Structure 1
Amino acid sequence: MTETVQSVHASLDLRPGQLFIDGQWLDWDGPRFDQINPNTQQVMGSFPEAGERGVNEAVAAARKAFDEGPWPRMAAQDRKRILQRFIERIYDAEEEIAKLQTLDNGIPYHLSRNTRVSAKATADVMDSYAGWADKITGETYPQFTAASNMQYMSFREPVGVVAAILAWNAPLLMFANKVGPALAAGCTVVVKPSEYTNLSVTRLARIVAESDLPPGVFNLVTGAGATGSALSAHPGVDKVTFTGSPQTGRSILLASGGNMKRLSLELGGKSAGIVFPDTRSLAATATQLMGLCSTFLSGQVCSTPSRALVHRSLLDEFVHHAAEQVKKVKFGNPFESTTTSAPIISRRQVERILGYVESGQQEGATLQFGGDRPGGDLAEGNWINPALFTNVSNQFRVAREEIFGPVLCVIPFDTEEEAVRIANDSEYGLAGCVFTTDVTRALRVARAIRSGSIGINGYASVPNAPMGGVKSSGIGREGGWPSIEAFTELKTVNFNLDA
C-alpha cells in the first residue's frame, strides 16, 4: 500500500520541536509556530520561535566553545574522526531523513532519497568537507630582501562562531554545505533552518547531538525572520553563511558591519539557458529546460535557467517540445513513485507566482500554457501548472525578477553577441548553460557570461567544485577548497631569525 503524508507523519511519531544549545535539548517556554506541509496543509509539528533570547543563549554557548573549548585546538585527525562517525550515522538514517524532507517541503520521496538533495548526498558532501580537516595549510614565503633575515609564514585558523541560516528548498544539502566546512575548519556553529523545513534539519541535529562533538560546538535554533535577524546581527557571531533572497541578503550585509562579520551569501538567480541552432538535440534541450522548471522542485531552485534564450529559427519547435514535456508532469501524493514535482512551498508564494503570471500577460508576453491552479483533488495543495511565456522582452518583470516557481520565459535572439548581451543584462549572475555542439563557441560564450558557473550542454553541481554567484547573486563560494577558505582566517607570522 502506498504511503501518504498522513501515514508517514503518523508512523514517525514526531515530538514537539526543541532547541539544541550547549549540548542539551531544551524545551521552550516562549512562543511557538506550526509548520505546514505544502501538499496537504496538514500541521507537521510545533517549533520554538527562538527569537533574541534563544539566539543569545545559542551564540553564548558557541562563543564559549570556540574561545575556551577543545574543538578549534583539536588535532586534525581527531576532529576528522568525530565528523566521520556522524557522517556514517547519516547514511544509516537516510531513508527516514528523506521522508522528513518530503514532509518538510513536499519534494517527491523518490527524489528526496535519490538525488543531489538526498540524505545520502548530504553525507557525501559532509564526507568531502571532513576530508579537508587535515589538509588546511598555510604557506612559507621566500626571503624578499637581504636587508633582514626574516622568515614569513602563514597559517589558516578557524574564523570563529558561524551562523548558518538555511533555505527551505534543499535543507539537507544546505546543512552539509554550511555545517560541513565550518566544523572541518574548527569553527563552532549555530544553525537556523527555514521556518518551513524544521523536521529534516532537526533529525540531522539529533545525529550530531549523539556524536562526540564537545558541548557548544553545534547548536540549533528554530524560528522565522526575527530569529534569523537576531542571529545574523549578533555581535558574538564572526561569520554568517546564508542562502535565500537578495532582500534578506542585503539586510544581513548591512547588519554585518557591526563587527565586520565575514559573509557567504547565495542569493538566487535569473539564469539563462542559451540554445543555439547546432544544439545536439532540440527536443532534449527543450525538455531539459522546461523540466527544470516543472519537475523536481518545480523551479524553486536558485540555479534553474528560468530564461530560455532560443535562436529565432528554433522558436516554434522549442515551444512544441516544451509543451510535450509538461504533459508528463504529475502532481499529487509525494510518496507515489509516479509523482514528478514538488508543490510551491507556501500559499503566500503561490499568490506571488500567480501575480508574476498576470504581470507577464499585462506587459505583452504570450502565455503558451499553464500558469493556473489545478482543481479537484489537488485543490488543497500549493500547485501551479507549469507555465511558458513567449514574446518576452528581457525588460519585462518576468524576465528580470526571480519568480522561484514553474515559469519559463522564452526570449529570442539572432546572433551570438545578442544572446550574450541579453544573458548579461540582469542584476543576477549565479549560473546558466549553453547548448551547442561547437566547442569553440561553447567556451567563448561560457567565458563571456557574467556568472559564478556555467554548464555546457547541461548543468550540475558537485561538492568538490565551487558554486556561487556574482552581482546580486551573492558573495563567496560553496564547494571544495574555496568553501574551506571561507571558514578560515589567514594569519601571517614574521620570524626574525637573527634575534
Structure 2
Amino acid sequence: MTTTNYDKLYINGAWVASTSSETINVIDSVTETVMATIPAGTAADVDAAVMAARSAFDGWAATPTEERAKYLTRIGDSLGARMDEIATAISKETGMAKWLSQMVQVGLPINSFNQAGALAESYVYEEKVGSSLVVREPIGVVACITPWNYPLHQIAAKVAFAMAAGCTVVLKPSEVAPVDAFILADIINEIGLPAGVFNLVSGVGPVVGEAMALHPEVDMVSFTGSTRAGKRVMQLGAESIKKIALELGGKSANVMLEDLDEATFAKAVADGVGKAFLNSGQTCSALTRMLVPRSRLAEAEAIAGATASAMVVGDPFAAGVHLGPLASAAQRDRVQGYIQKGIDEGATLVAGGLGAPEGLDVGFYVRPTVFSGVTPQMTIAQEEIFGPVLSILPYDGEDDAVRIANGVVYGLAGGVWSGDKAHAEKVARRLRTGQVEVNGGAFNPNAPFGGYKQSGIGREYGRFGLEEFLEIKSLQL
C-alpha cells in the first residue's frame, strides 16, 4: 500500500513547513496500516496562520459578494471533479461504504459550497429599523475545528459559510481523518483564492486546537466534536470573550407512537435501525434510542433484530456492504466497552454483541448490536456510544415517551412516527432537540442543524449557518 506524506501546512496562500519536524500517522481503518502522514502543527504555526488570516480579513470582507460567490462555486466544482479520490480517502479513514461516501461525504460538501456561494449573493445584509440602519458584517477571523466522522462535510459547514460571510479562516481538521482537508487546500490553492483567506494547520487538539481557541486575534471558534472537548473550547475562548459555536454529541430518540398500524410500525422500526447505524453509528445525530409502546416491545425486537442481522458488514469498497469498520482502534474499543456495559447492566441482547463479525479480524469492525428492555437510567441509554448500537426502550403512554426522549443531557436530533402526521408533528414540537424527523422525513442539508442543551450552541447550514458568522451593527441615522 502507498503511503501519502503531507509534509507542509497551508498558510497565507502557500505550502510551508511546520516549525516542528514531528508527524502524525493516519491509519487506514480497513487494513490497520498507515495510509498517510501529516505535520504535527504547533502553536507557532497557529500564530502564523491566524496573523495571515488577520491580514487578509479587511480585503476579503470588502470583496463584492458576487466575487466571493464565484470562488465558493469554483471550490464546489473542483470537489466534484475529485469526488472519487476524496470519497476513497474518507472511506479508508472513517470506514463508510464507498458508495455512501460519494453521496454523503463528498456530495453534501459540494452542496454546502454551492449554497454558501448562492447565499453570499442573495442574503440581505442590511435593513431599516425605525430611524436606524441595521447592518450585518463578517465577524472576523474564524478558527474552525472539525471532527473525523464526516470530515469534509463538517469542514464545509464552517469554512464555506464563514468565507461566504466575508470571514477569513484557520482550519484544524481531525488528525484521524485529515486527507480531505489537504485535498481541499490543494483545490483552494489551484483556484487562486486570495492569500490568507483560508489556512490549514494540522495537528492534535491539545496543541493546535487549544492555541486557536486561546489566540487573541481569533474572533470566533466554530467547533464540532465531543461535548467534553467542546467544554474545553468554551473555557479557553472565554479568556478573550470569543464567540463560540458548538456542534456536539447526541443521544437522539426515535419515538414510535401507539397508533401505527402493523405495516407502518415494521417500516418505522426497520428505518430506525438504519438511522441508528448510519456510518456504522459514527453519527452525532444518529437515532440511537428507539422508544416503543410496551405492548409492542416484542414486535419491535423481532423487526430490529432481523434488520440488524441482515446488514452486511465488511470492506467498504466491496459491493453490497452496508457497514464498514469504525474509524480507529480507540473507537472500536470504546464501543465494545459500551456493549459490555449494556450486558452488565441487564439489557437484553437482541442482535450482535461483543467481538468482531466473523471473518473480519483485520480492521476496526464491530458487530451491529441491538439491545432491548433498556431502562432510561442505563448507561447505554444516557451516554453517546458512537458505534452501531441501538437501544430499544419501552414506554407507557405518550407523556412517558416524551419524558424519556427529553431525559438526557443532549438535544441534537430525534424522530416521531404516527399514523396521523399532524399528531406526529405535535409530539415533535414537544421534543427538546434541534431537528426532528416526522414519519421518516428526509434530511435537508440546507435546513439549520444544531442542538439544544449539551448538544451545542448555534446552527449550521443555509441562512442560519451564514448568520452565525455575522456581527450586527446599528447605525443611528
TM-score, length-normalised on structure 2? Answer: 0.96
Q: Which deviations, in whole Å up to 9, do the C-alpha atoms of 1:318-359 show, x marking residues without a partner? A: 111111112322222221121111311211122211111122
C-alpha displacement of 1:376 = 5.6
Alignment check: 8 A CA contact 2:309 2:351 kept: no
Q: Which deviations, in whole Å up to 9, do the C-alpha atoms of 1:111-154 show, x marking residues without a partner? A: 1112xx23232111111111111224121022xxxxxxxx3101
1:60 corresponds to 2:62 = no
- Aligned pair count reads 472
Q: Which residue, out of 99, 110, 116, partners 2:88?
A: 99
Mean Cα displacement is larger for which, 371-380 or 200-209?
371-380
**Which residue matches 1:145?**
none
C-alpha displacement of 1:417 = 0.6
Identity, % of aligned pairs?
A: 39
RMSD: 1.5
Please tell me whether Structure 1 or Structure 2 has the larger radius of gyration of its CA atoms: 1
**Which residue matches 2:391?**
409
**Which residue matches 1:249?**
230
1:23 corresponds to 2:23 = no
C-alpha displacement of 1:441 = 2.0
What aligned pairs does 1:41-440 form with structure 2 within 5 A after superposition? Answer: 41-67=32-58, 70-114=59-103, 117-134=104-121, 135-142=123-130, 151-225=131-205, 226-279=207-260, 281-294=264-277, 296-374=278-356, 377-440=359-422
C-alpha displacement of 1:459 = 4.6
Mean Cα displacement is larger for which, 369-378 or 481-490?
369-378
Alignment check: 8 A CA contact 2:137 2:472 kept: yes
Counterpart CA distance in 2 for 1:171 and 1:396 is 31
Mean Cα displacement is larger for which, 410-419 or 89-98?
89-98
C-alpha displacement of 1:15 = 3.9
Gaps of 5+ in 2: none
C-alpha displacement of 1:17 = 3.9
Counterpart CA distance in 2 for 1:33 and 1:157 is 38
Alignment check: 8 A CA contact 1:17 1:45 kept: no
C-alpha displacement of 1:198 = 1.0
Mean Cα displacement is larger for which, 46-55 or 180-189?
46-55
Counterpart CA distance in 1 for 2:88 and 2:143 is 26
Question: Secondary structure at 1:297's aligned position in 2?
Answer: helix
Q: Which amino acid aligns with 1:266?
A: E
Q: Which amino acid aligns with 1:93?
A: R
Question: Secondary structure at 2:281's aligned position in 1?
Answer: coil
Counterpart CA distance in 1 for 2:462 and 2:260 is 31
Q: Which amino acid aligns with 1:47?
A: I
Q: Which deviations, in whole Å up to 9, do the C-alpha atoms of 1:37-67 show, x marking residues without a partner? A: 1111110111111121211111111111114
Counterpart CA distance in 2 for 1:258 and 1:157 is 23
Q: Which amino acid aligns with 1:26?
A: V
TM-score, length-normalised on structure 1? Answer: 0.92
C-alpha displacement of 1:287 = 1.2
Counterpart CA distance in 1 for 2:428 and 2:471 is 32
C-alpha displacement of 1:317 = 1.3
Counterpart CA distance in 2 for 1:349 and 1:464 is 30
**C-alpha spacing 1:27/1:459, structure 2 compared with 1 (3 Å):** farther
Extract structure 1 runs of 4+ deviating beyond 6 A.
none
Counterpart CA distance in 2 for 1:171 and 1:416 is 37
Counterpart CA distance in 2 for 1:432 and 1:255 is 31
Gaps of 5+ in 1: 1-5, 143-150
Alignment check: 8 A CA contact 1:462 1:479 kept: no
Counterpart CA distance in 2 for 1:333 and 1:349 is 17
